[in-house]
A = this chain, B = another copy of it.
Amino acid sequence: MGGDRGPEVTIPASLTCLEENPELHVILVGDEAIIKSTLGQALTEHGGRLSIQHASECVEMDESPSKALKNKKDSSMRVAINLVRDGKADACVSAGNTGALMATARFVLKMIPGIDRPAIISTLPSIYGHTHALDLGANVDCTAEHLFQFAVMGAELVKAVENIESPKVGLLNVGEEDVKGNEQVKAAAKLLEKSSLNYIGYVEGDSLNAGHIKVDLIVADGFVGNIALKSIEGTAKMIGYGLKKAFNKNWLTMLTGLIAYPVLKSFKDSIDPRLYNGASFLGLRGLVIKSHGGADELAFRTAIHLAEIEIKQDVIKKISAQVEQTLAKREIA
């Protein structure tokens, strides 16, 4: 039901994913009448791989997370997360209210023992392909220990989904030199240096997209991570806007634009934010994927694909095992 356009986007996206992946099962959670009318004939077309779970309420996009959690016990996101808790679903994918989804997921699924705070991880396009980054906004105040925990969880996720042995982990900072940074970052660096992670040191903001070396995972406080993410979105938007304006200047530039269109389009497609849609909540005992609220069908499909990959790679189990192992090591040391 969530996102700016609701079932109009989430249902067609789900149907396409069912066609693409014969192993996929989808439970559509929300207002049964609306879902049925949007589905039409499609309900019976996927050999039992598509079902509906009714939920009588719906969290609004601007509703306060605490109110949603307290008052809407039969909301579509709550019911969907309950399915994950009860083992009836392997993941919940939602385009709904981020804060409410996080609060509900945390309340219902609980944290992995040893992890203090959940974090939001996603991928960003880079000159090396892409980079994983967390926390992108779940926590506005993080201690060094939180940053360390994010690194442990993030590295395990990157290992699983990218199939790399030892992902390079960088800590987002205002410079690469040891003396740079605030107290949290400096203390987190010390924890990371002592760890078994492939910690490469401090990285600057440009490393998210175009650093001088490839970094697999970039760790930051959610305040900084979110602002960096939005700054990147703003810059991409400004450049897109400026290019369009330059090509629309007069008939000659418009003609040029027509000629250059296929090349510009192929590049634009390669950094299409819809292909990077979907952020995972890490630190919970179940898989929850947040899609951008403004997602269209293609974008929402990307978020479902992300869930498929993380389910297949058993990411939650691997992270839980890694966290347990890290904690055990610390107790010995």
Q: Tell me if A222 counts as interface (CB < 8 A to partner B).
A: yes
B174 x A126 contact (CB < 8 A): no
Q: Tell me if A270 counts as interface (CB < 8 A to partner B).
A: yes
- Nearest-CB distance from A255 to chain B (Å)? 9
- Nearest-CB distance from A17 to chain B (Å)? 28
Q: Tell me if A16 counts as interface (CB < 8 A to partner B).
A: no
Q: Report A207-249 CB contacts with B as 1/0, cut-off 8 Å.
A: 1111100000000101110111111111111110111011101
Complex-state Cα separation, A301 to B230, whole angstroms:
31
- Nearest-CB distance from A33 to chain B (Å)? 32
- Nearest-CB distance from A312 to chain B (Å)? 29
Q: Tell me if A34 counts as interface (CB < 8 A to partner B).
A: no
Residue of B nearest to A125 (CB): B238
Q: Tell me if A9 counts as interface (CB < 8 A to partner B).
A: no
Q: Tell me if A256 counts as interface (CB < 8 A to partner B).
A: yes
Residues of the B chain whose Cβ atoms lie less than 8 Å from the Cβ of A260: 256-257, 259-260, 263-264
- Nearest-CB distance from A23 to chain B (Å)? 34
A205 x B230 contact (CB < 8 A): yes
B227 x A174 contact (CB < 8 A): yes
- Nearest-CB distance from A99 to chain B (Å)? 9
Residue of B nearest to A235 (CB): B235
Complex-state Cα separation, A260 to B238, whole angstroms:
19
Q: Copy number of this protein in the oligomer?
A: 2
Q: Tell me if A140 counts as interface (CB < 8 A to partner B).
A: yes
Q: Which of A175-183, A189-197, A287-295 contacts B (4 or more CB under 8 A)?
A: A175-183
Complex-state Cα separation, A228 to B230, whole angstroms:
9
B263 x A235 contact (CB < 8 A): no
Complex-state Cα separation, A253 to B179, whole angstroms:
46
Complex-state Cα separation, A259 to B252, whole angstroms:
11
Known A223-B174, A224-B223, A239-B236: A231·B259 in contact at CB below 8 Å:
no
Among A209, A242, A264, find the residue whose CB has the most chain B CB atoms closer than 10 A. A209
Residues of the B chain whose Cβ atoms lie less than 8 Å from the Cβ of A181: 140, 223
Residues of the B chain whose Cβ atoms lie less than 8 Å from the Cβ of A121: none
In-complex Cβ contact of A141 among B141, B182, B210, B257 (8 A): B182
Residues of the B chain whose Cβ atoms lie less than 8 Å from the Cβ of A180: 140
In-complex Cβ contact of A127 among B209, B229, B237 (8 A): B237
Q: Tell me if A172 counts as interface (CB < 8 A to partner B).
A: yes
Residue of B nearest to A141 (CB): B182
- A-B CB contact pairs (8 Å), 14 listed: A141-B182, A174-B222, A174-B223, A181-B223, A206-B230, A206-B233, A209-B235, A209-B237, A235-B239, A239-B239, A239-B271, A256-B260, A259-B260, A260-B260
**Could you list which residues of chain A lie within 8 angstroms of chain B, going by C-beta atoms?**
64, 125-127, 137, 140-141, 172-174, 179-183, 204-211, 220, 222-224, 226-239, 241-243, 245-247, 249, 253, 256-257, 259-260, 262-264, 266-267, 270-271
Given contacts A126-B238, A205-B232, A256-B263, list 19 more A-B pairs with CB under 8 A: A64-B179, A140-B180, A140-B181, A140-B182, A172-B227, A174-B222, A174-B223, A204-B227, A205-B227, A205-B231, A209-B234, A209-B237, A220-B227, A231-B235, A239-B271, A246-B270, A256-B262, A257-B263, A259-B259
